[in-house]
Amino acid sequence: MPVPNNPNAPKISHYLYMQEKSDFAGTLMGSILYGMRKAAQPARSSNRARSVGFILGVLIVLFFQCMAALFDSANRRGEGIKWGLVSYTMVMFSFVTVLTGMQLDIRSISYIDNREFPGAEGVLPPGPLGYQSSIWSGALTLTPSIMFALNNWLADGLLVSSLFDATPTLPGV
C-alpha cells in the first residue's frame, strides 16, 4: 500500500500499485531461482543492477556447493568437520543475502513508491535515481554498504589465513 503522505508517490490506483510490487518481486524471484540475466529493473537502470538476480542465483549455487564440500567425508582426510570454516561460510553468505535484499528493497521503494521524486535543480536529478541519492545517509542505504565492507574483510581474511595454514615443504627434504 502506498505511503499516504508521500508526495513522491505515483498517482495510481491501489490495485496497480500492488500489481507493480508483485511484478517486481516475481521477476526478481524468477531471476534468482533460474539465474536469468533479466532482473526486475526498469530499462533506464544500469547493467550492473539488471544482473543482481543472476549474481544472487550463482551465489546461492556456490554456497550450497561449498557447504556440501565442507560436509563431504571424502574431503576431510580423517579430520572432523571444520566448524569454524562452516560458520565462516554461513556468515559470509548471510552478509551477502542481507546486502542484496536491502539493495533490492531500496530499488523497489525508489522505482515504485517514489518515481515522481521532483529532484533538486542542479543537485539531484528527478525520479528514482534522485530519490536514491537523497536517502543516501539513511539506515536503509548504510546497512548494505556496511555489509559489503564486512564481507570483503572476511573474504580478504580467508585469503590471508590460507597463507599461514600452508606448511612449507622444501624440495628434497
Please report, in tens digits, the pLDDT of each residue of the chain (173 residues total). 556 677 777 777 787 778 777 877 776 776 666 554 444 444 444 444 445 556 667 778 888 998 888 888 776 677 778 888 899 999 998 988 888 788 888 888 888 888 888 888 878 888 887 888 888 877 888 888 899 899 999 999 988 887 876 555 556 55
Note whether residue 5 is domain-resident. Answer: no
Note whether residue 111 is domain-resident. Answer: yes
Separation CA 47–CA 45 (nearest Å): 7
Q: So what's the pLDDT on residue 156?
A: 92
Q: So what's the pLDDT on residue 149?
A: 92
Alpha-carbon Rg of the chain, whole angstroms? Answer: 21
Q: So what's the pLDDT on residue 1?
A: 54
Note whether residue 172 is domain-resident. Answer: no
Note whether residue 154 is domain-resident. Answer: yes
Contacts of 42 (CB under 8 A, 6+ apart): 111, 128
- Residue 55 φ/ψ, nearest 5 degrees: -65, -45
Q: So what's the pLDDT on residue 153?
A: 94
Are 154 and 95 contacting, i.e. CB atoms less than 8 angstroms apart?
A: yes
Note whether residue 167 is domain-resident. Answer: no
Q: So what's the pLDDT on residue 109?
A: 84
Q: So what's the pLDDT on residue 150?
A: 93
Note whether residue 163 is domain-resident. Answer: no
**Residue 132: which domain range?**
14-158
Total domain count, the chain: 1
